[in-house]
Every structure is written in C-alpha cells, then in structure tokens.
Structure 1
Amino acid sequence: MIYVTSDSTKPQFNLALEEYVFEYLDEYDEIFMLWQNEPSIIVGKHQNTIEEINTKYVKENNIHVVRRLSGGGAVYHDLGNLNYTIISKVEGSNTFDFKTFSQPVIDVLADLGIKAEFTGRNDIVIGGQKFCGNAQYMKKGKVLHHGAILFDTELNILGKSLKVSKDKIISKGVKSVRSRVTNIKDHLKKEITVEDFKNLLLKRMFGGDKEILPYELSEEDLKNINELVEKRYGTWEWNYGESPEFNIRKSNRFQSGKVETLIDVDRGVIKELKFYGDFFGHGDLENVENKLIGIKYNENDIKDVLKDVDIDYYFSGISMEELLSCIID
C-alpha cells in the first residue's frame, strides 16, 4: 500500500487527484489517501445539483460545488472534515462493499473509547447519528472507496447548505439534516485535533508505528491533475450540467436509494429522458437513457427496451419493476 497526500484544500484539485491516482497509478494494488477541502458541497455522480443545494446560501458564502465520480448523496466538507480514500484492486465482483472499507474508521474510534457502527447502505454512526457517509466507484477491476468524516465540522452551515428532499428526511424518520448528523469531537473523552485523528487513521491503515513514506507527485502528475481540473472538475458542465425540458417527472425512494426521472414526451414518444438520484451503480447512464429516446411512452415498449439492459449494473439493488415505476405508472 502507498500513501498519497494532498497539500491542497481546493475540492476541484482533490477530486481530480483522486481520479488521476485511480486511473493511472495502476502498478500499486492498494492506495490510501487523506485530504481536506475548504467549504464545499460534493454531489453524487447522478444527482441533479440544483435540487441538492441551497443555491442562494451557497453563492453568498462562497461554498464550492463539485461533482464526484461515485454515486450516493451530496455531502458538505470544510476543514473540520477529514476525507479518506482507499483504492484497491478487486477480482470478479461488481458488488458494492461499504462495510469492509469503513472498518478502519470504526477501529480507530474504538481505540478512542467511542462505539461506532456501520448502518444502512453506506453510513457510519455514533448513537444513531451519522458522522461518516461513504461512496464507491468501480472500474477495470478496481474499486475507489471514499468517506467523508465529520470531526469538527460546522454543522449549522452544513444544514443551511444542503437542501435535502423531504422524502429522504421522512425515510430516515427524523426532522432535519442537522438532527441526523454529529461530530466525532462531541463524543471524545479526551480532546484531540482533526490532525491527531488523521495520524491515528494513517497509522491504523499502515499497521502501527513504522515509517510511512508518501508517494511524491511528479511535475508530470501535477500537470495531468490540473488538466483534469480544467476539463472536468472546474467546469459548470460537469458540476451542474443541464436538465432537460420535461413534461413528466417521476420519482421513488427505495432501500438502495432514490431514482428520479425527468422525461420530455411529445405525441406519445420519448424525446428526452434523464435519470437522477443518490443511488449507486456502474457505467454511464447515457447508455440507458439513449436506448429509451424515440420509444413510445407506454409500459410494454419501455419494458421491451429495458429487458436487454443489466439494470443492477447501472442501478445497484434496484429491480426492473422499481425502475419502471420511476418512468411510467
């Protein structure tokens, strides 16, 4: 395992760094990263950004908004937050495994006298309150797992920045975003800093007190990472993207996440269609969306197209019938 560190707190750079390491440092079987961002909202790959954020508040407070490669929901980062990434080669599985990759965080907290548990599809909680959300991206026999740890985050700003849909709040059985989350710092018996916690997690990942030598990014590495910022993570097209004009909007929340569909139907035919949500999955959703354009907007025709699609590959844990319910009654 190698350790890749970032001195930058710009989310555009750190997400580009993460993608670059995943794609191009292929000679290493395992890679570990720790990184922090200045105030930012990091939205999931499939989300409709405008509907996940409090746009006015975000602009007034100069909060970055950047889309990541993995699915799942939007999260708030600031310098009281610690992000970790584990990149590992996997063989013959497309199954998301959040629990295994979350265990190092749970173990470090146990050493500090705090009982943390993995719960739901991708959360780590203390006393039922979430302090770490996790997401994954898979490609070419490798998995990228990352988690956003709330250590001493400004939870008030988090609550104001994220405009969470009512169905998510209801599905969690609580009143607000703020009531669902907690900081690790509030549960510590002895005060430590986020930097202290970072070092504890680093030691846990590398098996104790042996010297950890970080991977040094070359000038060529940095050039390529900054090109990714320019072409992807620093662009409006990637971070926000355009929503189609639509006359039908349908959504449902399932155990595996929410799926929302915006559809433009003209004279009974699908002219444009876009999937959004906090679900996880593989591949490019345009492959599915494009198959449905030009198809009659009726159940039999849509089902006939989807029967040749590996639904679970694109919408992990969601069945054909569930996906259909997000397209047509």
Structure 2
Amino acid sequence: MILIDNLGNTNPYLNLALEEYMLRHSKQGEDFILFYINEPSIIIGRNQNTLEEINTSYIEEKGIHVVRRISGGGAVYHDHGNLNFSFITDYDVKRLNNFKNFTQPIVNILNEMGVPAKMEGRNDLLAKGKKISGNAQFSSVKRMFSHGTLLFDTNLNEVAKALQVKMSKIQSKGHKSVRSRVTNITEFLPEPMRIEDFKQKIIDGLFKEKEDFSIYQLTDEEWAGVHQLKKEKYDQWGWNYGKSPKFNIRREKKFPVGIIDLRIYVEKGHIAAIKIYGDFFSKDPVDELEYKLLNVRYTLPDIKEALSEVNLKNYFGDLAKDDFIELLYGEDEE
C-alpha cells in the first residue's frame, strides 16, 4: 500500500479533488491510502439535496465550507479535529458495500490504542454505542475508493448546529439528538494526544507489516490536474448545491439501505421530471434511473414496464424492486 502525500492541505475542495484525481489516474494494481484533515466544512453525499441538509444561516455566519463528494451516504461535518482516510484500490464487486474489508485494520489499531471500536450497521464505526466514524464508497469502471471519517476531537456542538439531520435517522438509531449519538475518540484514549500523532499511529499500524511501504509524491503536472478538477467541479455552486427541482409529489421512506426521497413532477398524467435524493449507496449514478422514468405515464402498469429490465441493485443496493415501485407510486400512508 502506498501513502499519498497531500502536503498538509486542509482545503476541502482541494482534498476531494485530490481523492477523485487519484481514483481516476492512479495505476491499476496498486493500492493507495490518503489521509487528510479539512477546515470546518460540511461534506454532502452524492445524492443529497444540499439545502435540506444544512443550516444555511449558521454556516454562512461561521464561514463553513459546503462541498459535495462523489460517494453516496449522508452529510458529515469536518473540522481540524476530524481525520479522514481513503483507501483507493482496484474495483472488486466483493469489496463494494463491504466496508468491513477496509475498516477492520483501522478498528484493530483503535482497539490496540484502547478505543473499543467496532463495525455496526451498514457503514458506521461505534464505540460504546456512539458513532466515531462514518464510511462511504465510490466505484468507477476499474477503480474504487472506500473512505471515512475518524472523529478524533471534533467540535460536536458544531455538528448539531451546522447539520439538519432528519428525525427519522435520529429515531431509528434510538438517540434523542445528533449530539447524543456521536462522540470523540479522545474520550477513550488513556492519555491526551494530538491529532497529528494520532494520524501517525494509524499510519504506523497500517504499515507495520508492509515491507513495500512507500510515499507517493504527486508531480507538478499531477497537482495541476488536481487544481483544474477543483476549479471546474468542486469550486462550482452547481456541483455543491444543484438546483432544487419543481415537484408536486413527494414520497420518502427509510429502508435498510438508507433514506430514499423522491421528488416527482407529474404533468398531463406523465412524469415530466423526477429527482431521487437520499443517503443510500449506489454503484451507478441515479440520474440514469431518473432518465428511464422521464415521460413515463404515472400509472402502475407503465412504471412497472419502464423498470422491468432495470437492475435496481446498481442504484440502491439490496432493495426489492417492488418496494421501490410502491414508494414511487403506492398509496400514501395515513
């Protein structure tokens, strides 16, 4: 495994651009890991409606960055007390949505440090029932990454103020508030530690049995490519926020795969527009699925016909097609 040197950058737009650049341009057959710490920022999941995930007035007042990532999952808060990691490897269907494959080495290192971490749920690391890490993945045709957060000593009060977490998510986890369901790794350490030292311990733990450990320094040409991606994508309002669609039907439900939130505009009996939001993990971009439903008559037989050859697992993971169709068209619950 090769450690990517991000030169200590803390700009979230640049770090996400670096991660995507290395995913798309790194050599096949080689495994990389990237660590980075971001300035205060909210990192939005690929399929989320940004304006409904953030406390806009608060983040504007505090100057908190808002950046959309290319992986699915939910919105997370980053600051200087949060360590982020990203494993970049060849694509393997057995690794997709198999977060334990990537996080277990980190869990082992945390356990050695006295932190009672373990994988729970679909993508979280917990310590004594409280979340200390969330994880997400993205895959291209040949490569993929699995990345996550490590809440080392983050300002948890800011998490609650900056994010607008859906009540269904809070209630499903059996906690009363955002603040009550997350905690810092520092709470479990036997003695104080700086985040830089914590990062080094994680790196040392990952590479202690790797004789071929090396550090990758990007060339000037590669850094130019990263900055170009940042400028053309991650710096853009359209990417980070997007345009909220016009809709006259909204259907939302929390499934084991995550929240699916449908905004549908039906005109003259046909689906004139549809937008799929949520914190689910998808292999393929959901705009492909949205396109398949455009101009379809908003009737159950026509919807079933439009989706008859569609493999929904590529968009939502292990979700039954009948469950999605029921959400899309079924009767509203009273």
Q: Which is worse superposed, 21-30 or 296-305?
A: 21-30
- Residues 94, 313 of structure 1: 8 Å contact kept: no
- Residues 251, 327 of structure 2: 8 Å contact kept: yes
- Normalising by the residue count of structure 2, what TM-score does the alignment of the two structures yield? 0.95
Please name the residue that 2:116 is paired with. 115
Q: CA RMSD in A?
A: 1.5
- Normalising by the residue count of structure 1, what TM-score does the alignment of the two structures yield? 0.97
1:203-214 counterparts in 2 under 5 A?
Answer: 203-207=204-208, 213-214=214-215
Task: List gaps (5 residues or longer) in structure 2.
Answer: none
Deviation at 1:290, TM superposition (A): 1.0
Please name the residue that 1:301 is paired with. 302
Deviation at 1:94, TM superposition (A): 7.0
- Residues 260, 326 of structure 1: 8 Å contact kept: no
SS at match of 2:132: strand
Please name the residue that 1:54 is paired with. 55
- Residues 114, 188 of structure 2: 8 Å contact kept: no
Please name the residue that 1:240 is paired with. 241
SS at match of 2:260: strand
Cα separation, 2, equivalents of 1:141 and 1:91: 8
Cα separation, 1, equivalents of 2:267 and 2:211: 65
1:5 lines up with 2:1 in the alignment: no
Cα separation, 2, equivalents of 1:149 and 1:77: 10
- Residues 131, 149 of structure 1: 8 Å contact kept: yes
Task: List gaps (5 residues or longer) in structure 1.
Answer: none
CA deviations 1:169-200 (Å, max 9, x no partner) are 11111111100000000111111111111011
Deviation at 1:27, TM superposition (A): 4.1
- Counterpart residue identity of residue 297, structure 2: K
CA deviations 1:271-327 (Å, max 9, x no partner) are 000000000011121111111111111111111111111100111121212211331
Q: Which is worse superposed, 21-30 or 178-187?
A: 21-30
Q: Which is worse superposed, 117-126 or 187-196?
A: 187-196
- Residues 110, 116 of structure 1: 8 Å contact kept: yes
Please name the residue that 2:255 is paired with. 254
- Residues 250, 261 of structure 1: 8 Å contact kept: yes
Cα separation, 1, equivalents of 2:32 and 2:103: 15
Q: Which runs of 4+ in 1 moved over 3 A?
A: 90-95, 208-213
- Residues 96, 137 of structure 2: 8 Å contact kept: no
Cα separation, 2, equivalents of 1:38 and 1:303: 46
SS at match of 2:221: helix
Cα separation, 1, equivalents of 2:264 and 2:185: 42
- Residues 38, 80 of structure 2: 8 Å contact kept: yes
Deviation at 1:13, TM superposition (A): 0.2
